[in-house]
Amino acid sequence: MKPAMFAICLISLGACSGESRNVRPVTIQWMDWPAEVGSGQVFRTRLIVSAVCARDPQFHPGASADQSAVTFAPYWVVGNEQIACIADIDAMAPLLVSGFDTAGTAPGLSSTYARTFEMRGSASVYVSGSVSADEPVRTFGEVIVLPRGSESSQRNAAGIASKEVDTTGCVRLRPFGAWRPGSALPLENQADTARLSYTFVRGYIYDAATPVCGETRVFHLVSQN
């Protein structure tokens, strides 16, 4: 084998040797999507999913649609190589050990009149103090399909989140797994923070007429459980 080809094989961690790959279903920690879309229009949905401790992982959003809902069943395709996880993700880019912030394309939904479809996804649940062995599907919210297109900048959102309070007293909502600066959004109602600690929330992101914490892009909390 030529040196260049040998190097490529090493980088791909077994791709040239025909190493078998495994499928690892994962759960969705956070999802946000356009509140309205046009009939037949594909739309991008932000997904924060569980990551895997593996080299060269390949992510698949697992999107599908039927007459009532869009469903994401994300999964990773990984090799069989056993590796030791490390805490510093920047030290080894191919190694994923925390939340993975990405996007999935939802198939177009067709309707000749305004109607709603559910947005669903694989999510972790707890039963009798233990995590379910399966990946149950949970309803995150809804999307409105309009026959003549849409113009709304509002995004519906749901998932596990927690509150943060900065040095000025501003309360922000941070989706679980979103660690990048600027990922936390000001909470529209600054007093609406009861039980807001790694809780499953539903709401929407929009541009408020009056700035909150000096920002206009805010999160409106609808429910939590």
Q: What percent of the chain has pLDDT over 90?
A: 58
The pTM of the full predicted model, rounded to 2 decimals, is: 0.81
Alpha-carbon distance of 220 to 111, in angstroms, equals 28
**121 close to 137: Cβ distance less than 8 angstroms:** yes
Q: How confident is the model at residue 98 (pLDDT cuts 50, 70, 90)?
A: low
Q: Are strands 63-65 and 36-38 parallel, antiparallel or unpaired?
A: unpaired
Residue 127 has pLDDT above 60, yes or no: no
Q: How confident is the model at residue 215 (pLDDT cuts 50, 70, 90)?
A: very high
**72 close to 26: Cβ distance less than 8 angstroms:** no
* Per-residue model confidence as pLDDT tens digits over 135-157: 689 999 999 999 987 878 999 99
Alpha-carbon distance of 181 to 174, in angstroms, equals 10
**224 close to 203: Cβ distance less than 8 angstroms:** no
Mean pLDDT of the region 42-71: 92
pLDDT of residue 196: 82
Q: Which amino acid is at 140?
A: F
pLDDT of residue 63: 96
Residue 97 has pLDDT above 50, yes or no: no
Residue 131 has pLDDT above 60, yes or no: no
Task: Tell me what the pLDDT averaged over the chain comes to.
Answer: 82
**46 close to 99: Cβ distance less than 8 angstroms:** no
Place of tokens 């009861």: 194
Rounded to a whole number of angstroms, the distance between the first and last alpha carbons of the chain is 58
Q: What percent of the chain has pLDDT over 70?
A: 79
Domain residue limits, the chain: 20-150, 156-224
Phi, psi torsion values for 6, nearest 5 degrees = -60, -40
**81 close to 127: Cβ distance less than 8 angstroms:** no
